[in-house]
């Protein structure tokens, strides 16, 4: 066989191999994730949700345009994540849209308003152009449509007092959970039920409207009055058994700022709910302290009300003790006195640092007149502090006065030495019954259970935690309309209270499923800017000369090998 014929056969064989590999790759899709943080591997819960998409789903992302590098990175990471979704299930498609591309200003404004109405928030950025700096609105979010439903997706996690690069990093880490949550909401056929407990002076519907609207996207929410009992139609008597069954039918109960005393029967109903492995969120004011009181006088008396409520002993039995000392924290939110925004130690600000999925990568959370929570011994119950004050904290015993004078007095750091204090504690596990060694108020309904096996209760030491403000400032919306939860209209700041509560609901009702995706770490290898600037010229010359040097070296190697090859042939 001649050398020419052998070379032709080798060439045809190599070509056939390449064509075969390409054909197989079109029929069988596979990827191998070799990254250290497994950023290209999806969680099993996410894969199940992707497989559940049986009809076409379109995700419209409003991240197209000329953006700063951080948003470009968020856009590309979102594209990569959706490519993973689409590779798994072809029913999932996506498109990038630039909402600012229309040259007509009125058309752009109409588009912006439509996106706001759909639930996407805009942020202002500065874009450098040839004729100067231009302000531009961008909507870092998406709208997913599936069958006859829509779901708004916010891709950017806003974090108070956090560098933009860190916010982008946190947003990218949260991408899988954010997108998978939309899939879950659009494809889920079962909607868990949530009861907002009523009957003891809790927050009114207008005060919780923002939270109810947000959570109603994925859950059924209704109010349940513990003090209104059903009546048996045959006997005309109160049917306590029906009340127990109705309460136990809810997947989650929420108690927001009760102000009236709980009777023994009320406590028994709640206790037996948890003994049936119930889930709950309790937001309790252990001390009476209302901001409205300062409208009538420059100071007011804060006094304990926990004993009057009658819930302190029951929560203590489950593993947490609400104290009646107000928390003062030098790391705090501000109050607008119409001249400036001044920090106030009674509005502690929490920058969650925990890896727990409820509080991880959250914006700063604000409380008003919060008290602290201590954990106590309760065998079989796990206690997790989710919100901790800064090290510069102190307790103020009550009764005691709270006055505006502290707003204009610089706090003395030497007095703020109580360290980290917990104001939100998650209890999980085998709750002991509050009536295990007490006489139950009603025993004829059903034998009371002495302990739970897997109950969950989140206790927050601020009854107003889920209370939204009502508009008194803006003229473009009706006066008294509920504002987004966590938004302070007097300072213009958005806090993370809403996200904290939504994550808590997802965790309590989902357990270790999709919410566990929030605990995933994706490490971004960002450029070391100071080091890059220091060695900028070396890198520039290296990038310019290295490719040229590589081409010359390969050319020289090729000529040397060619010369050696033909020298051997001549000798032969």
Whole-Å CA distances, 293 to 299, 300, 324, 399, 473: 8, 6, 19, 15, 20
Residue 95's pLDDT is 93
Strands (E), 450-496: 455-460, 487-488, 493-494
Please tell me the distance from the alpha carbon of residue 558 to that of residue 259, in angstroms, as a whole number.
87
As given in the structure block, the two tokens for residue 189 are: 């056929």
Radius of gyration, CA atoms only, the chain: 30
pLDDT for res 399: 95
Q: Which of 343, 357, 273 is nearest to 314 (CA)?
A: 273
Say what the pLDDT of residue 139 is. Answer: 85
Nearest CA to 346 out of 384, 309, 293 is that of: 293
Question: Tell me, what's the pLDDT at 339?
Answer: 82
Residue 30: predicted pLDDT: 54
Across the beta sheet with 220-225, what order do the strands follow? 220-225, 193-198, 252-256, 279-283, 455-460, 422-429, 381-388
Calculated CA dihedral for residues 500, 501, 505, 511, nearest 10 degrees: 30
**Topology match between the domains 36-181 and 190-519:** no
Global confidence as pTM: 0.78
371-375 vs 320-329, strand pairing mode: antiparallel
pLDDT given for residue 2 in this prediction: 60
> Residue 382 has what pLDDT?
95
Long-range contacts of 74-81 (CB under 8 A, 24+ apart): 74/140, 74/155, 74/156, 74/168, 74/171, 74/172, 77/172, 77/175, 78/142, 78/155, 78/175, 78/179, 80/40, 81/175, 81/176, 81/179
Distance of CA 538 to the CA centre of its chain: 43
Residue 396 has φ and ψ, to the nearest 5°, of: -110, 115
pLDDT of 433: 92
**DSSP label at 472?**
S
Q: Find out whether 424 and 507 touch, Cβ atoms under 8 Å.
A: no
3-class SS shares of the chain: helix, strand, coil, % to 5:
35, 25, 40
Specify the DSSP class assigned to residue 485: T
Question: How confident is the model at residue 1, as a pLDDT?
Answer: 55
Cα–Cα distance, 77 to 71 (Å, whole number): 10
For position 321, what pLDDT does the model report? 96
Q: What is the CATH number of domain 190-519?
A: 3.40.50
Report in angstroms the alpha-carbon separations of 493 from 376, 477, 490. 36, 18, 8
Q: Are 202 and 68 in contact (CB under 8 A)?
A: no
Residues 282-317: pLDDT tens digits?
999 999 999 888 888 889 999 999 999 999 999 999
pLDDT of residue 313: 95
Quick one: pLDDT at residue 185?
86
Chain-centroid distance, C-alpha 542? 43
Contacts of 539 (CB under 8 A, 6+ apart): 532
Cβ atoms of residues 267 and 311 within 8 Å? yes
Map out the domains of the chain as residue ranges. Answer: 36-181, 190-519
DSSP state of 404: G
Q: Quick one: pLDDT at residue 28?
A: 52
Selected from 2.60.40, 3.40.30, 3.10.620, 1.10.10, the CATH number assigned to the domain covering 36-181 reads 3.40.30
Local mean pLDDT, 10-residue blocks, the chain (572 residues):
62 73 60 57 84 92 82 88 90 90 82 84 69 73 90 78 69 86 86 94 95 90 92 77 90 96 93 94 96 87 95 95 96 87 92 83 90 94 95 94 89 91 96 86 68 94 95 86 90 89 91 63 52 71 82 82 68 54
Whether 268 and 314 have beta carbons less than 8 Å apart is answered as no
Residue owning tokens 């924290």:
329
Cα separation values, 217 from 323, 344, 549, Å: 35, 35, 59
Report yes or no: 107 and 71 within 8 Å, Cβ to Cβ: no
Task: Give per-residue pLDDT as tens, 192-202.
Answer: 999 999 999 99
């Amino acid at each position: 066989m001649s050398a020419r014929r052998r070379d032709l056969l080798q060439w045809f064989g190599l070509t056939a191999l390449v064509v075969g590999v390409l054909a197989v790759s079109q029929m069988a899709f596979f990827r191998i994730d070799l990254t250290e943080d497994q950023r290209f591997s999806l969680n099993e819960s996410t894969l199940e949700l992707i497989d559940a998409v049986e009809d076409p789903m379109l995700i419209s992302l409003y991240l197209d345009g000329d953006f700063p590098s951080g948003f470009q990175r968020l856009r590309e990471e979102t594209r990569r994540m959706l490519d993973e979704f689409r590779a798994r299930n072809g029913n999932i498609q996506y498109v990038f849209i630039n909402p600012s591309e229309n040259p007509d200003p009125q058309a752009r404004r109409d588009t912006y308003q439509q996106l706001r109405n759909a639930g996407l928030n805009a942020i202002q950025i500065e874009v450098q152009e040839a004729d100067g700096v231009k302000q531009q609105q961008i909507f870092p979010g998406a709208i997913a449509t599936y069958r006859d439903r829509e779901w708004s997706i916010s891709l950017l996690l806003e974090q108070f007092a956090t560098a933009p690069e860190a916010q982008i990093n946190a947003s990218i880490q949260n991408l899988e959970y954010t997108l998978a949550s939309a899939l879950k909401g659009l494809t889920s056929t079962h909607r868990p039920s949530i009861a907002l407990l009523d009957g003891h002076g809790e927050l009114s519907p207008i005060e919780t409207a923002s939270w109810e609207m947000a959570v109603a996207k994925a859950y059924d929410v209704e109010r349940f009055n513990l003090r209104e009992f059903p009546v048996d139609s045959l006997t005309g008597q109160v049917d306590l058994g029906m009340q127990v069954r109705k309460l136990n039918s809810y997947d989650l109960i929420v108690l927001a700022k009760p102000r009236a005393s709980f009777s023994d029967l009320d406590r028994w109903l709640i206790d037996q709910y948890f003994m049936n492995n119930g889930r709950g969120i309790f937001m309790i004011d252990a001390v009476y302290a209302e901001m409205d009181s300062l409208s009538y006088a420059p100071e007011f008396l804060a006094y304990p009300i926990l004993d009057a409520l009658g819930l302190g002993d029951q929560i203590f039995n489950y593993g947490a003790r609400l104290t009646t000392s107000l928390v003062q924290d030098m790391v705090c939110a501000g109050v607008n006195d119409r001249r400036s925004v001044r920090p106030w130690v009674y509005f502690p600000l929490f920058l969650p640092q925990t890896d727990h999925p409820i509080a991880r990568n959250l914006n700063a959370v604000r409380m008003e007149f919060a008290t602290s929570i201590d954990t106590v011994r309760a065998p079989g119950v796990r206690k997790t502090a989710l919100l901790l004050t800064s090290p510069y904290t102190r307790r103020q015993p009550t009764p005691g006065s709270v006055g505006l004078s502290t707003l204009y007095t610089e706090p003395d750091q030497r007095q703020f030495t109580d360290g980290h204090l917990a104001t939100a504690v998650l209890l999980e596990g085998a709750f002991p019954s509050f009536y295990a060694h007490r006489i139950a108020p009603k025993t004829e309904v059903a034998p009371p259970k002495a302990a739970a096996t897997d109950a969950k209760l989140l206790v927050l030491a601020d009854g107003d935690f889920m209370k939204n403000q009502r508009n008194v400032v803006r003229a473009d919306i009706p006066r008294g309309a509920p504002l987004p939860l966590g938004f302070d209209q007097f300072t213009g700041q958005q806090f993370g209270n809403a996200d904290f509560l939504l994550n808590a609901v997802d965790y309590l009702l989902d357990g270790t499923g999709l919410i566990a995706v929030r605990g995933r770490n994706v490490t971004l290898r960002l450029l070391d800017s100071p080091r890059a600037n220091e060695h900028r010229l070396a890198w520039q010359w290296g990038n310019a000369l290295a490719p040229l040097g590589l081409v010359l070296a390969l050319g020289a190697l090729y000529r040397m090998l060619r010369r050696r090859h033909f020298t051997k042939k001549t000798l032969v």
